[in-house]
Amino acid sequence: MQTRRVTWRADPPQTRQADPASTAEIPETTRARGPFRVLATGRRRDMSKKKQQVSAGEDLYGQTAGGIGGLAVVFGILAAIKDKLGLNWPATVLLTAGTLVALGYGAWQARSRLLALLAKEPAQKTSTAPAQDAAAGDGPAREEQLTQALVASKAIGRGQYVRADESVVTPLPHVLGNRYEFKVPVGLTYRHVAAKAGEVAGALGATRLRTQVERGEPSERDVDMTVLAQPPFTDPFTPPTREMILAHDGIPFAHSMTGELVGIDDFTKGALFVAGMTQTGKSTLTIALITCAYIAYGPELDVYLIEGKPGALVRFEKLAVRYESSSRTAVFDSMVCELLQKQQDRYELDNEAMRERRPKPRHRQILFIADEVADYYVSDGSKEAIKEKARLVKNSSELVRKGLECGITVVMMTQRPSDRAVPVEVRDQFKRRICLYVSGKGSAQVALGSDYFKTESPIHPALMDASIQGQGVYFDGVASKLVRGIRFKDDFIWEVVDDILARKEKRIEAAPDTPVKKAIAIMHERGVDFIRSKDLGPELGIHESNPGKLGLELKELLRVGPEATNKGRGYKLTALKQAALSDS
Ligand SMILES: Nc1ncnc2c1ncn2[C@@H]1O[C@H](COP(=O)(O)OP(=O)(O)OP(=O)(O)O)[C@@H](O)[C@H]1O
């Protein structure tokens, strides 16, 4: 993206002073100090020399007359005091002088106290020296538009200002608006501006939704502020190409309001909670995340998906290690338990490596995505159901919290961001949250966290235009930004799915010959995607009639156990391929 960087500098004082025609517009303070003062007083001096000589005699006469008048008045006052108090002349003079001195001292004391009180005002208000200097033409030039907006919004103090040589404005491409990069005065940080984002937006003639304030570089004083010329996402951004996704530092899933890619920088650092009313764009955004994750990780990514009924996620059914379309708690619970077991296995492998002084093994990245999770936490209120729910809440919270450490990232979605729908114990484990359009503050707090509105520069999701689907607030635990989920064309998604499928097949083909690979070949020959243990056993040389023993022997040979399905105990092709990939 090519942008033109323009430095906003007020005209340097020299340039302005070189234009005598503008004298009338120069404030009195400026004229009184710089070369303007020389020009003005020079002219006055020539014109008034004669006047000064004529008026000198008149001044002397006037001052003498005034002196005589003053003496007469003082003598009169003293005579009146002497007469009233019946004192002699020396006593009257001494008493009057003493009273005047006492009154003068009292006035001095009162003035000192008043000055001391004023000196205790906040630093923001008292640090006016540089501003006065600048206004007077001695300090660095000020950036007027920003200064006025920041002072009016109380982001900086009255006497403070933004220096012109410390501010840059960059017009955004496609006339989207402007990006302001500037330093706030010493003693303040970008947070002072972020906390007043709405007011600053207003002062610049924009809305809060069109304004984004972030920390700039290199210091806390640096502000990076974007102000859009029109409502965000008025025009859609083009979805990124495969190359752009690979070049992005992380896994993208959305565009920022200026069209940059926004994503999870590292899957190992945060689970994601996505909430928003129905048809607001949760699935579209999540599909973008899965697509980009596959592009970034390739066949190294293991995806587990569950949704109430076959819907948006079914696109990835063939690629997923496990895909379920069920709103039954038991199914969700079984997935959580399976992943907790994986988590436990990975911990043990890590500990073993540690004990043997080997480097920690690299685990395949797991992405677990559950749509409409609220459905899985319902309970009919019976004693048993309450107990089951408590267990599920504990297990799923643990998976979200601890999964990250061993490469398991959880994404949960809900269209019911109400306090009771998804238990708070589970919600609290999510560091990253996205709230698409919701109508109330309560829902926003459920989606983004109860303390969200006390954070740096919160954006109220209800302010978003509900007609722009996919728009949401992304909160990474520290700061929020307005984003819009990427909407990939179906063709692009299918291309990615086919590419990963082909790469997985190649990897399995290239893997060493193992019993798992033999089992896969048998299933391919038979053209089935499920095989019962009792059919697979003899093919692999296990002739055991006891189903329990057969299962155990198969597990030992294949290093993956059979599953109980409605077709009996046996192996799914996807599970075996997964096992083959893990071995490769
Ligand atoms: N970023 C986007 N750009 C354009 N259209 C979008 C975007 N995100 C979502 N949409 C459109 O909005 C509609 C709803 O999207 P989606 O199915 O993702 O919403 P949802 O919140 O998952 O809905 P539900 O909760 O009912 O499952 C779809 O028609 C989708 O194409």
Question: pLDDT tens across 259-307, in order?
Answer: 999 999 878 777 999 999 999 999 999 999 999 999 999 999 999 999 9
Q: How many whole angstroms separate alpha carbon 501 and alpha carbon 351?
A: 33
Closest CA to 410 of 489, 342, 490: 342
Contact 393, 426 (CB under 8 A): yes
pLDDT in tens, 470-511: 999 999 988 899 999 999 999 999 999 999 999 999 988 888
Q: How many whole angstroms separate alpha carbon 367 and alpha carbon 373?
A: 15
Is 276 a known ligand-binding residue? yes
The band of 60, judged by pLDDT with boundaries at 50, 70 and 90, is low
Contacts of 66 (CB under 8 A, 6+ apart): none
Cα(469) to ligand 1 centroid in Å equals: 6
Cα(281) to ligand 1 centroid in Å equals: 3
Helix (H) or strand (E) holding 227: strand 222-228
Is 281 a known ligand-binding residue? yes
Whole-number pLDDT of residue 365: 93
Q: Which atom of ligand 1 is nearest to the CA of 486?
A: 1
Whole-number pLDDT of residue 67: 64
Q: Which atom of ligand 1 is nearest to the CA of 280?
A: 21
186: tokens are 């010493």
Residue 255 CB neighbours (<10 A): 25
ipTM > 0.95, yes or no: yes
Contact 376, 332 (CB under 8 A): yes
135: tokens are 């206004």
Q: Is the CB of 238 under 6 A from ligand 1?
A: no
Q: Is the CB of 212 under 6 A from ligand 1?
A: no
Closest CA to 214 of 465, 1, 449, 482: 482
Residue 435, beta-bridge partner list: 275, 473
Residue 565, beta-bridge partner list: 568
Of the candidate ranges 12-26, 115-129, 514-528, the one whose mean pLDDT is the lowest: 12-26
Q: Which atom of ligand 1 is nearest to the CA of 311?
A: 27
Q: Is the CB of 286 under 6 A from ligand 1?
A: no
Left if phi > 0, otherwise alpha if psi is -120 to 50, otherwise beta: which for 453?
Answer: alpha
Which protein residue's CA is at the shortest distance from atom 7 of ligand 1?
470
pLDDT in tens, 37-57: 322 333 333 334 444 443 444
Q: Is the CB of 472 under 6 A from ligand 1?
A: no
Contact 192, 158 (CB under 8 A): no
Q: How many whole angstroms separate alpha carbon 180 and alpha carbon 170?
A: 7
Contacts of 436 (CB under 8 A, 6+ apart): 274, 275, 276, 277, 280, 281, 282, 285, 461, 470, 471, 472, 485
From 253, 469, 471, give the residue whose CB has the most ligand 1 atoms within 8 Å, as the site to mutate: 469
pLDDT in tens, 136-178: 456 789 999 999 999 999 999 999 999 999 999 999 988 999 9
Contact 161, 142 (CB under 8 A): yes
Q: Is the CB of 284 under 6 A from ligand 1?
A: yes
Q: What are phi and psi of 553, to 5 degrees?
A: -65, -40
Q: Is the CB of 484 under 6 A from ligand 1?
A: yes
Which residue in the block uniquely carries the two structure tokens 């319902």?
Answer: 378
From 233, 238, 284, give the residue whose CB has the most ligand 1 atoms within 8 Å, as the site to mutate: 284
Whole-number pLDDT of residue 31: 32
Which residue in the block uniquely carries the two structure tokens 């899933």?
Answer: 253
User: Percent of the chain scored above 90 by pLDDT?
Assistant: 64
Which protein residue's CA is at the shortest distance from atom 14 of ligand 1?
279
Q: Is the CB of 283 under 6 A from ligand 1?
A: yes
Helices (H), 86-128: 89-119, 123-126
* Alpha carbon distance, N-terminus to C-terminus of the chain: 40
Q: How many whole angstroms separate alpha carbon 248 and alpha carbon 325?
A: 32
Is 382 a known ligand-binding residue? no
Whole-number pLDDT of residue 6: 36
Which protein residue's CA is at the shortest distance from atom 29 of ligand 1?
279
Give yes or no for residue 319 having a pLDDT over 60. Answer: yes
Which residue in the block uniquely carries the two structure tokens 């490769």?
Answer: 584
Give yes or no for residue 128 having a pLDDT over 50. Answer: no
Does a cis peptide bond (omega within 30 degrees of 0) precede residue 218?
yes
Closest CA to 17 of 29, 32, 3, 31: 31
pLDDT in tens, 162-219: 999 999 999 998 899 999 999 999 999 999 999 999 999 999 999 999 999 999 999 9
Cα(171) to ligand 1 centroid in Å equals: 31
Give yes or no for residue 535 having a pLDDT over 50. Answer: yes
Residue type, position 295, single letter: I
Q: Is the CB of 416 under 6 A from ligand 1?
A: no
Is 282 a known ligand-binding residue? yes
Q: Is the CB of 449 under 6 A from ligand 1?
A: no
Is 413 a known ligand-binding residue? no
Is 145 a known ligand-binding residue? no
Residue 212, beta-bridge partner list: 226
Q: Is the CB of 403 under 6 A from ligand 1?
A: no
418: tokens are 């109400």
H helix count then E strand count, the chain: 20, 18
C-alpha angle 405-407-408 in degrees, rounded to nearest 5: 100
Give yes or no for residue 132 having a pLDDT over 80. Answer: no
Cα(351) to ligand 1 centroid in Å equals: 44
Residue type, position 223, single letter: V
Q: Is the CB of 487 under 6 A from ligand 1?
A: yes
Whole-number pLDDT of residue 122: 36
Is 283 a known ligand-binding residue? yes
C-alpha angle 428-274-362 in degrees, rounded to nearest 5: 75
